[in-house]
Amino acid sequence: MDDRDGYFGEPIAATYDDSTDSEFSRETIEKTAGFLAARSGGGRALELGVGTGRIALPLSRRGVPVHGIDLSRAMTARMRAKPGGDRVEVTIGDFATTRVGGGFSLAYLVFNTIMNLTTQDAQVECFRSVASQLDPGGRFVVEVAVPDLRRLPPGQDAVPFRVSGNGWAYDRYDPATQAMSSNYLTVTDDGRGRRRSIPFRYVWPAELDLMARLAGLRLSERWEGWGEEPFTGESTRHVSVWEKPAG
């Protein structure tokens, strides 16, 4: 793995789009692109963590010019190889601090990507960076999970989320620091084990609202998902929209 790619080098990029997670289904992708296009205001969009173009490409096909920021050259190379990949501009860098200039009516982060920023300071700086690049009236959309701490009994810090005959996957939480990690254990055909761990920082909806306020943005919408289902106390994720005042 090229260290410049962080945790998403070529071994991950090569199979990233093969995921069977519902986020990668055609229905979810089109619903996501439709939600974002409806809030683009006819302007340009900035995707933070553009990756292999799972959302950027269908959004671009809807007539929304997209500029992406990503740390992984391997992931963005996969996007470039796809039909229409050359129409998405890409800047390689840390999306918490990388600025590509203003003129965006929409910025967005999908599929828990805000948690790839593993400190509160980095998450706050991300909101500030986005706000500085949004036009007045522009919107910042974030899709992220609600922390699943209710599944942790006293003394336990891990929650499994996938178990199969040749592998296990689990999340580990530290409630004192909001640090977490997703861990994957895979047993190969020769009986050897392989472990991969990706660090995150989980974040609460109210905490994100405060970060937005510090950046001069205000909450305008919050839904459970891209289909605009109501957000409730039982929701396991949310799609939130903050707006930059027009004045």
Calpha distance 225→80 (Å, rounded):
28
Angle subtended by helix axes 120-133 and 205-214, to nearest 10: 50
Radius of gyration in angstroms for the set of CA atoms belonging to the chain, rounded to a whole number: 18
Query: 236 and 150 in contact (C-beta within 8 Å)?
Result: no
Tell me the fold of 149-199.
Answer: N-terminal domain of TfIIb (2.20.25)
Question: For strand 167-174 and strand 179-187, is the pairing parallel, antiparallel, or unpaired?
Answer: antiparallel
Structure tokens given for 11: 């071994």
Structure tokens given for 57: 């490409």
Calpha distance 107→105 (Å, rounded):
7
Q: Which of 205, 53, 35, 212 is nearest to 106 (CA)?
A: 35
Q: Which of 29-33, 113-117, 138-142, 151-155 has the lowest mean pLDDT?
A: 151-155
Render pLDDT for 154-186 as a digit per residue (tens, 0 to 9): 999 999 988 988 899 999 999 999 999 999 999
Where exactly are the structural domains of the chain? 3-147+203-243, 149-199
Tell me the backbone φ, ψ of residue 156, rounded to 5 degrees: -110, 140
Q: Reply yes or no on whether the pLDDT at 19 is more than 80.
A: no
The continuous run of DSSP H or E covering 26 comes out as helix 26-38
CATH number for the domain formed by residue range(s) 3-147+203-243: 3.40.50.150
| 2 — pLDDT class (breaks 50, 70, 90) | very low
| 13 — pLDDT class (breaks 50, 70, 90) | confident
Check residues 190 and 92 and name the one with the higher pLDDT.
Answer: 92
Q: Which of 112, 95, 118, 109 is nearest to 147 (CA)?
A: 112
Render pLDDT for 213-234 as a digit per residue (tens, 0 to 9): 999 999 999 999 999 999 999 9
Query: 83 and 56 in contact (C-beta within 8 Å)?
Result: no
CB burial of residue 247 (10 Å; 0-12, 13-18, 19+) = exposed
Calpha distance 162→169 (Å, rounded):
5
The whole-number average pLDDT for the span 94-101 is 95
CA distances from 48 to 93, 117, 148, 215, 217 (A): 10, 11, 24, 17, 17
pLDDT of residue 18: 77
